[in-house]
Amino acid sequence: MATVSVCKYYPGGFSFDNCKRNALLEADISKLGFSSPAARKTGTTICGVVYKDGVVLGADTRATEGMIVADKNCSKIHYISPNIYCCGAGTAADTEMTTQIISSNLELHSLSTGRLPRVATANRMLKQMLFRYQGYIGAALVLGGVDCNGPHLYSIYPHGSTDKLPYVTMGSGSLAAMAVFEDRYRPNMEEEEAKRLVRDAIAAGIFNDLGSGSNIDLCVITKGKVDYLRPHDVANKKGVREDKVYGHPVTGSYRYKHGTTGVLTKTVTPLNLEVVEESVQTMDTS
């Protein structure tokens, strides 16, 4: 049986058909004087530390679109499995979707094996997916969790390389946060000390990096328990204006008491004018 039309074969992978269209649009738009919208990125500070009983992950909460803050309180610590969480830096959509895909696959895997998922498994899945897309998925991740082999912490780069370390930082504020870690990290810290260390590292990123800001979120993962502290610390509180002075609200009020401005001199100059013509034009107040 012959078919009337030939089906077009779509090979797998990315379709770059729209790139030519986008290039033409870009040229047209710039001729009119506008700029095309920028992808929303999370210029970010994320970090993680392994302590005595588990892992502490931390993140700031600012999402930027170019030079504007798009979201003042976004959540960068994503759920992967009950015992594994992942902080994401880079393109916001990429980190969100990548972590959701791996979380879904890991849940199916866990149901299939009948075991609690391991951090190394999540790491393998993430690195193999990111390598497959050769760095075009802009997701830089800090993966941490506790499984049957103890606490584990990985940093995963957009091209698919991973490092397994006791403390890691990622994002535009990573240098500021790493400075704090290199100074104060010790192996086998207590929980409070570890939380304080992560909080200070994220604060360093918030105050010294333009791409990071707002609040500090923490996630403390131990065997059998996860504390998702959102927000753990509001590092930048919005100030409150002096509300009531002289008995009435001062904010936005421009009524001043008689005598607020002192009068130095008063000169009255009468103007001797002759009325030539007088016409009245009524205003339309209907």
Partner 1 sequence: LAKCTFFISHLTFSDILYCDENVCVCVQTTIMAVEFDGGVVMGADSRTTTGAYIANRVTDKLTPIHERIFCCRSGSAADTQAIADAVTYQLGFHSIELDEAPLVQTAASLFRDMCYRYREELMAGIIVAGWDRRRGGQVYTVPVGGMMTRQPVSVGGSGSSYIYGFVDSNYKPAMSKEECLKFTAEALTLAMERDGSSGGVVRLAVISEQGVERQVILGNQLPKFSTV
Binding site for partner 1 (CB under 8 A): 41, 43, 89-91, 127-128, 130-131, 134-135, 138, 140, 155, 157-163, 165, 170-172, 174-175, 209-211
Instruction: Identify which of 200, 226, 227, 238 has the alpha carbon closest to the alpha carbon of residue 60.
Output: 200
Closest approach of Cβ 58 to partner 1, in Å?
17
Closest approach of Cβ 40 to partner 1, in Å?
12
Task: CB nearer to partner 1: give 43 or 151.
Answer: 43
Task: CB nearer to partner 1: give 83 or 214.
Answer: 214
Task: CB nearer to partner 1: give 109 or 124.
Answer: 124
Task: CB nearer to partner 1: give 29 or 210.
Answer: 210
Query: Would residue 44 show up in a list of annotated catalytic residues for this protein?
Result: yes
Residue entry with tokens 């590092």 = 235
**Catalytic-role residue among 42, 44, 45, 169:** 44
Catalytic positions are 44
